[in-house]
Amino acid sequence: MQQTVDLVIHGGKVVSDQAVIEASIAIRGQTIVAIGSDDAMPPATERFDATGLHILPGAIDSHVHFRDPGYAHKEDWGTGSAAAACGGVTTVFDMPNTNPPTGTLDALALKLKNAAISHVDYGIHALLDEDNIDQLEALIDAGATSFKCFMGNTFGNLPAPSDGAILEGFEILARRGIRCTVHAENPSIMARRQARMETAGRADRHAHLAARPEVCEIEAIGRAIAFAEWTGARLHIAHHSAADSLYLLRDAKRRGVDVTAETCPQYLLLNTHDMTRLGSVLRVNPPIRDERHNAPLWDALVEGVLDMIATDHAPHAPDEKTRERIWNCDCGFPGVETQMPLMLTEISKGRATIMDYVRWSAVNPAKAWGLYGTKGVIAPGAHADFAMVDLAREAVIANEKLHSRSKLTPWNARPVKGVPIHTMVRGRFVMRDRELIATTRGWGQSVKPIQAMPAPRPRNTDKTMGAIVTAGGPHV
């Protein structure tokens, strides 16, 4: 006699990165215990009919700014995670450019405290900066899942660390097998160009892109890869935006550097024509570039040079986004709730398969952050984290219906085909029939990486490095 389970989901099509199969899923507590034909399912306290829906592993968004502490008027963990839940996203990774920035133990404790109201699970990217290199290990021990290094300036104006500090930080993270995300833009090129343009009186919408040309991204990605390869640190490139820097990723991966990269719907689907139309609403770092970048980024995802879709969900208040001069408008816009419908729409057009999408939205992020097996896959032993989507359902994105505190996105009035209908996090519906389940506030928990993957071998031949740090002087 089989043991009774809490829930069997039946009638849906279960999607992995390899296949789409008609199957039922049995769940006990927070965990999947069986997948198979419905007549093989154990007796269940409750059965849920998912006929007509595709059941995807919940999306993992590696890049959100939920803003609390410091900027809760833009977003907090309640509103941000509600948006995630309603977007089919079951795990988010939050960025450290809050106030205080998440670069000290106290700031991390505060971030974790504020995140406790989340509807969805979360990882915390702590800050790697000039002055906290000696704190990195303590931050890992206190629950940071990963790090973020702002090589270029953006919202929060955190200064880019020196190359020396980045290299030392990477040495430590390499030893711990922890991945570091970089915001890869070269700050001095951008600062000088912006200053020249401001002096020349330019403050129009296209000046933003002119101040942050592709070379900023090419240079910074190249430098980050050099440091990661030298130290053996795992690297993650945030919001990859330019076709011109893809070759760096392709070559580094070929050499065995553990570098992963995300791009975002805005870099795949929007370009300078949209900037002409939308202006400062679309001001974001890195900038939206011209049309020639869109197709190569898509091809790089299909090819695996880019690993995943993230959103850089970056909410701001309306007045902060719509100031007169482009330089004074805050950068970024919400995206965690619109990513899945936007991407599924492209899938419905035949640009890739639903299995590709699962690889980009769930499998690869889970692998990058050491969660695969618990998350990113629908299999016995994994968390019951699902996005149940109707691939045939058509809708129109409406800013005012989104759950983020910021209602200003570039996607307003855009038609989509393919929407999440229900979202489940560890066995509990957090969205059901397109409605947020308000009582799941606080259900989210911080993720614990389960895989201590062996770090790549460093290229470093500088035998003095460890000695400088540990022993009173260099001894070869």
Binding footprint of Zn ion on the chain (CB under 5 A): 312
79, 118, 153, 154: which one contacts ligand DOR (CB under 6 A)? 154
Smallest separation, CB 71 to ligand DOR (Å): 9
Number of residue whose CB is nearest ligand DOR? 332
Burial of 241 (0-12, 13-18, 19+ CB in 10 A): buried
Site track 90-119 with ligand DOR (rule: CB under 6 A), x = hit: -------x----------------------
Among 15, 228, 331, 419, binds ligand DOR (CB under 6 A): 331
Q: Is 153 in the site for ligand DOR (CB under 6 A)?
A: no
Q: Where are the alpha helices (DSSP H) in 146-245?
A: 163-176, 187-199, 207-211, 214-231
**Residue 77 CB, nearest approach to ligand DOR (Å):** 15
Q: Which does 179 bind (CB under 5 to 8 A by kind): Zn ion, ligand DOR, none?
A: none
**Separation in Å, CA 435 to CA 83, 403, 421:** 11, 11, 8
Give the single-character DSSP code of 383: B
Residue placing its CB nearer to ligand DOR in the complex, 152 or 456: 152
42-72 burial: b if 16+ Cβ within 10 Å, else e: eebeeebebeebbbbbbbbbbbbbbbbbbbb
Q: For Zn ion, give the closer residue by CB, 214 or 262.
A: 262
Longest dimension (CA), the chain: 80
Q: Does residue 334 bind ligand DOR (CB under 6 A)?
A: no
Count of residues that bind ligand DOR according to CB under 6 A: 11
Binding of ligand DOR at residue 285 (CB under 6 A)? yes
Site string for ligand DOR, 40-79 (x = CB under 6 A): -------------------------x--------------
Question: Binds 326, which of ligand DOR, Zn ion, none (CB < 5 to 8 A, cut-off by type)?
Answer: none
* Spatial separation of the C-alpha atoms in residues 337 and 81, rounded to whole Å: 9
**DSSP label at residue 292:** G
| 62, containing H or E segment | strand 59-64
- Give the x/- contact pattern for ligand DOR in 298-317, rule: CB under 6 A: --------------x-x---
Going across the sheet that includes 435-436, the strands are: 20-22, 13-15, 54-57, 386-396, 415-425, 428-432, 435-436
